[in-house]
Structure 1
């Protein structure tokens, strides 16, 4: 076993090493390599191989399968950010005669368009891409399995459509757009469409005997945007850092956060898993993780990020099946998060005090329910119930003097500060809900009015 560590404690590194080695043995995979990113820096990486002296390291390429879809989603979002498309555009606006033109780009990104999961025969992952020369061959005669927008139905051909859309709008190949817009800006020089040495070979391991069979490795052609890429632990940890924080050269932090928002209803009874925009989202061990898993014959790959703990993990293996690498990567995140909890940044006061904003803080009432307003360090306002459950939210200031909800029930809703003729604050209006300094303040404009006899006790 080879391993590398820069910052993590020896006991943490040993726990990571043990989990990785156990996965390779129990999963009966020819080789397995893993790495952890903490607070934007590689904290540990290690690999194990069935051949002594040939352990993979963080620079060894493996095929990453459907993690490729996250890269394709980033390319599509870049088109949106440049104003070249709208995610609610129908596909046919930019890609006529695709065969699925009536659904929206957003629906395909979140696997909510109802498009078929796989291509018609033959098995696309084990056959050359030139056997599917156009979208008609990729989608087949019956491209839809469900009505659009009603359920999550994972679709490999759907991401082929998105790759073709990128090419149509950009006027360059998907591969060229990927290289110029993501790989080069992020410095991911070991991620490529075709394998580049050193790289692992793909193997199938017999389920009932310790023998192996080499798997074919074809160029996927039009299906490339769904699963073509080769990459390394080192490069994918860089990509994980981008998905956690954003990079203005590719996508801003706000847009990568948008990718984590669930896009379609989850399956009944499967509340722990959902899908955003090019990202899988899971809830495990009290944590929310986002990322993607991938597989092609001969390879397994997984990348998970926990934003709250600022930890990410990548696991790559060269076996068709065997190690549960999704769970392994999640375990690596958990090991680091529990052994070395994130130390928060020091509390610091505001450098400038806006007296008008300061005057909004404190106790407010919605009817008789008590709420508190706090001024946050980034000048946002937080409205939160003081007792029991209620509809709290954080609000961002807009140029017109209003505030926009960023979270919870009030996300996207407008908070207005209503003033008296003398400029003093009369009340807060949140989507027509009135918040006052006193319960049902008679001096405020309370919808329905306030009884003129005021508050009273019980009359017998």
Structure 2
């Protein structure tokens, strides 16, 4: 990036490292799938951390596990509305908890696994975890509200393992990490001789450090086990923004970014959760990704899908660094100082017969414009810019599926007269006509035979 932009970004991480008293801190900005800036402060083993230094990424692991679950959904191996019991029988809660609720932290399950603090203890296996989850560990009615549950992602790791017939980590490595070239993302630090940071607690009243343990979390590992590098996590950040490299379809990743639940306790929502992704509204942007924390480490990966600018931030401290705010600031600073250019316009072909459907249509008296798009898609927008708008993709046989807003999931059907001429559009029972309330169209309730009058 420009030297002036780099100065602003470097100063931001420098002030955060000092204010948060982080032994080391590293960050990067990714745009359009490429790292355009990175910087670090502090030291790891006496040297500045670099793009290949591993840090523990904590709960960002959850998003990667969620992608493995959505791959199973897209293959038809499960439905998100399936009760857990259908695939992992034998739990105290599986008959009343769906996979979608587990993904979005609305299952009602307890936040932490019963027993010792799992993040600082050697983990047990699935049988140990399942046995500890008695009926009393369901804290809320399933589906009622957002209640962050590390346990829920331990359960989802077992779900992936049951259906694939392999350890969840092997599935994630083969199906997600390797296709995204995230080959330095591992379950334990230093695999293959990779340099890695040591996790520390910083004393609240003195500038001294205490090393934190880094245990294998066992059955809880899908909630926060992985270690990664700036290079690898920038690849993941681009994935969250829609550059999916066929690991999932961009449409599925967009679905994961949809808010399944929001926190609006303080008024307008500023934080929410989708299907494995945290959502945040900050600095006028809607960001998607995830934060991560484990004893000794903080991490964050966020991206603005609208500008395709994202950021990754790491620190090897248990607390003190505003890791998500830092990532959000880096994204906003990059876009403020070097706003991305819009994609160039270029002509594109439209499917035969689409042009005759474009132009002015009316829902009752309200005018709409229907625009032809590539690949047989349409965009229906109110002529005055206010009201219900949606894109539609073709289903065949004069039918299109709504993708956005009020009409998401609804079907747009073209009605023709006997000679095949297009006559009206039917959208979820709303009839659109070329002129307001065309009496020749099947407008529900009919059209007054005397017509318009003063």
- TM-score exceeds 0.5: yes
Task: Indicate if the aligned counterparts of 1:49 and 1:56 stay in contact, CA closer than 8 A.
Answer: yes
Q: Does 1:406 align with 2:403?
A: yes
Q: Separation in 2 of the partners of 1:13 and 1:48?
A: 14
- 1:358 correspondence with 2:352: no
Per the TM alignment, residue 379 of structure 1 is displaced from its structure 2 partner at its CA by: 3.4
Deviations 1:157-212 (A, max 9, x none): 00000001111111111121111111122111111001013000011011122111
Taking the aligned partners of 1:105 and 1:354, their CA distance within structure 2 comes to 39
| 1:321 aligned onto 2:319 | yes
Query: Which residues in structure 2 correspond to 1:233-382 (within 5 Å)?
Result: 233-269=230-266, 271-350=269-348, 352-354=349-351, 356-382=353-379
Q: Calculate the TM-score normalised by the size of structure 1.
A: 0.94
Q: 1:51 to 1:127 in 2, by over 3 A?
A: closer
Change over 3 Å in CA distance of 1:426–1:45 after alignment to 2: same
* Match in the other structure for 1:145: 139
1:48 equivalent to 2:41? Answer yes
Unaligned runs of 5+ in 1: 1-7
SS at match of 1:176: helix
Match of 2:6 in 1: 13
Where in structure 2 are there 5+ consecutive unaligned residues? none
Q: CA deviation at 1:389?
A: 2.7
Are 1:80 and 2:84 counterparts?
no
Distance change in 2, residues 1:29/1:137 (3 Å): farther
Say whether the 8 Å CA contact 1:150–1:265 is kept in structure 2. Answer: no
- For residues 123-161 of structure 1, give each alpha carbon's deviation from its aligned partner in whole angstroms, at most 9, with x where no partner exists: 111111139862235535522010111111110000000
| RMSD over aligned Cα atoms | 1.7
Cα offsets for 1:25-71 (capped at 9, x unmatched)? 11001000011111111111111115795110111111111001011
Give the number of aligned pairs.
449
Q: Distance in 1 between matches of 2:443 and 2:19?
A: 66
Q: Structure 2 vs 1, CA of residues 131 and 409 (structure 1 numbering), >3 Å: closer, same or farther?
A: closer
C-alpha distance in 1, partners of 2:30/2:160? 30
CA distance in 1, matches of 2:33, 2:259: 25
Q: 1:212 to 1:374 in 2, by over 3 A?
A: same
Rate the CA distance shift 1:425–1:26 in 2: closer, same or farther, 3 A.
same
Residues of 1 paired with 2:26 and 2:391: CA distance? 41
Contact conserved, 1:139 with 1:157, CA < 8 A, in 2? no
Cα 1:54–1:205 shift into 2, 3 Å: same
CA–CA separation in structure 1 for the residues paired with 2:303 and 2:62: 16
Alpha-carbon distance between aligned partners in 2 of 1:184 and 1:355, rounded to the nearest angstrom: 41
Residues in 1 aligned to 2:250 and 2:125: alpha-carbon distance in whole angstroms: 40
Deviations 1:284-312 (A, max 9, x none): 12111000001011100000011111111
SS in 1 for 2:67: helix
The 5 Å alignment of 1:417-432 reads 417-432=414-429
Provide the rounded CA distance (Å) in 2 between the counterparts of 1:377 and 1:356.
Answer: 13
The alignment partner of 1:359 has SS state of: helix
TM-score, normalisation: structure 2: 0.95
In structure 2, distance between residues paired with 1:279 and 1:233:
19
Check the 8 A contact 2:113/2:129 in 1, yes or no. Answer: no
Distance 1:437-1:133 versus aligned 2 partners, 3 A rule: closer
